[in-house]
Amino acid sequence: MHDIIEELDRRREKARLGGGQKRIDTQHAKGKLTARERLELLLDPASFEEWDMFVEHRCVDFGMDKQTIPGDGVVTGYGTINGRTVFVYSQDFTVFGGSLSESHALKICKIMDQAMKVGAPVIGLNDSGGARIQEGVASLAGYAEIFQRNIDASGVIPQISMIMGPCAGGAVYSPALTDFI
């Protein structure tokens, strides 16, 4: 049992590094925080509960089957701000430039669905180069799912977007559909 727990801890630590220490250092050199650091500053201390930490993309084309990173470029979950529950996602630029894959989109949609179910705000920290080209229409379909949820949530829950870096395509279209940018 001890070995299983050690393995789980090792996998969690790997996932927390996103694209790796070198890319984290590059973020810091540009004066930018990582996706996780941003959530630590935004949320009340020790309130963040992460969902889907180990999700990876399913693309096998263009050598992507050899480039899987736990979390697939977005950190998702819920926490509190001043004691009030919020659902959050924070795109991780250290993983494929924060680009959106099908799995990445499903993680965001899951958070948005749960926020609507419980009536809590959703906050998106956007730092993405847009669709992950290697996935083709699957990543574009992911944006369609996110946009649909933006529309479904309109007038139901507060939607807040933060543009945290150079965003392109769907990474800015979705925030345009939210209540606050």
- Domain segments of the chain as ranges: 2-176
The predicted-structure confidence for 100-113, as pLDDT tens digits, reads as follows 888 899 999 999 99
- At the second CATH level, the architecture of 2-176 is Alpha-Beta Complex (3.90)
* CA angle in degrees (0–180, nearest 5) for 174-128-152: 20
**Which pLDDT score, from 0 to 100, does residue 8 have?**
87
The residue-averaged pLDDT of 35-49 equals 98
> 3-state class of 100 per DSSP?
strand
Alpha-carbon distance of 177 to 147, in angstroms, equals 8
Please answer whether residues 75 and 36 qualify as being in contact, where contact means their C-beta atoms are separated by less than 8 angstroms. yes
Task: Give the tens place of pLDDT for each residue, 46-86.
Answer: 999 999 877 676 656 666 667 667 778 899 999 999 999 99
Three-class SS state of 32: coil
Tokens representing residue 115 in the block: 């926020």
Q: Which residues contact 77 (CB under 8 A, 6 or more apart)?
A: 48, 49, 50, 51, 87, 88, 111
Q: Phi and psi for 43 in degrees, rounded to 5?
A: -95, 160
Round to whole Å and give the CA distance between 142 and 139. 5
Question: Is the overall model pTM greater than 0.75, yes or no?
Answer: yes
Compute the average pLDDT of residues 151-177: 93
Task: Report whether pLDDT(132) > 80.
Answer: no
